[in-house]
């Protein structure tokens, strides 16, 4: 699985399937249910930490083929496997404003919608109108923005075993140059402030109320602190990075150390943002 995650960490999966379309995904889930097979749906693997023993059952990888993007006037309809950055570029091409802040998010749209990903004061829910999902029975269902129960790094996907397969977004027409300038500015900020040159799962912790995880970790004296090849980024303390040969257990040990240190020194309990999956 380390070949399928940004963290470059994770043991083997039993089987991996590459569905060609939404109906394929539905059929795979129904097959797993009918045969009592565990399954995990994988997008772009950006916000994921896979355990060292890997994943049992079937991994359904959706980002390779479910990546169609259509533009209809001021609407974009995109499949879940499309990268958020690619959807943002499509918005720019059509002078649609609303995805500038998301232009640097590296993950797939499905994963981004599931966690209501955001950056620079914006969230994906700001432009979403409808979301097509597959439920745990393999049935395709459609939800309005309100029915998705969006919150900070939260959606209905977390409340039920749902899989996002298609998203409809509605945006306003804007000025191409203004949109591009904003995207370029956000890209420059990301490139200069985040450790994008090293494997990671993005922000390791959710933002605590009224503060920032990176600041708390920094003032706790943990900038650059490492356990084996897992390290608190020297560039941005909100990121745990893989220096080359870190295992899942190394990263989890470091995360627990960070959480305990911040709790002891500042009374704040940092909550993980990164998703952990696989056999313990």
Which residues are designated catalytic? 153, 203, 273
Contact 268, 262 (CB under 8 A): yes
Contact 170, 79 (CB under 8 A): no
Q: What is the spatial distance between Cα 105 and Cα 112, in angstroms, rounded to a whole number?
A: 8
Q: What is the DSSP string of 15-60?
A: EEE--SSHHHHHHHHHHHHHTT--EEEESS-TTEEE-TT-EEEEEE
Contact 11, 51 (CB under 8 A): yes
- In sequence order, the β-bridge partners of residue 154 are 151
């Amino acid at each position: 699985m380390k070949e399928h995650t940004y963290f470059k960490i994770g043991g083997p999966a039993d089987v991996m399937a590459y569905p060609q379309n939404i109906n394929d995904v539905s059929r795979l889930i129904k097959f797993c249910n009918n045969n009592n097979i565990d399954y995990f749906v994988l997008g772009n693997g950006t916000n994921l930490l896979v355990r060292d023993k890997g994943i049992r059952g079937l991994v359904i990888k959706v980002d390779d083929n479910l990546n169609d993007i259509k533009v209809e006037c001021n609407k974009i309809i995109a499949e879940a496997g499309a990268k958020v950055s690619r959807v943002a570029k499509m918005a720019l091409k059509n002078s649609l404003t609303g995805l500038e802040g998301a232009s640097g998010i590296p993950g797939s749209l499905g994963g981004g919608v599931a966690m209501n990903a955001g950056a620079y004061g914006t969230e994906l829910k700001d432009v979403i109108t409808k979301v097509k999902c597959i439920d745990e029975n393999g049935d395709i269902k459609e939800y309005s923005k309100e029915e998705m129960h969006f919150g900070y790094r939260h959606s209905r996907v977390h409340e039920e075993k749902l899989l996002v397969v298609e998203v409809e977004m509605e945006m306003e027409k804007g000025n191409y140059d203004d949109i591009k300038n904003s995207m370029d500015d956000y890209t420059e900020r990301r490139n200069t402030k985040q450790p994008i040159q090293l494997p990671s799962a993005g922000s390791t912790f959710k933002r605590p109320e009224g503060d920032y995880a990176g600041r708390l970790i920094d003032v706790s004296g943990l900038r650059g602190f490492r356990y084996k090849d897992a390290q608190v980024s020297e560039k941005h303390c909100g990121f745990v990075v893989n220096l080359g040969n870190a295992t899942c257990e190394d990263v989890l040990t470091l995360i627990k150390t960070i959480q305990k240190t911040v709790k002891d020194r500042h009374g704040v309990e940092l909550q993980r943002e990164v998703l952990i999956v696989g056999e313990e």
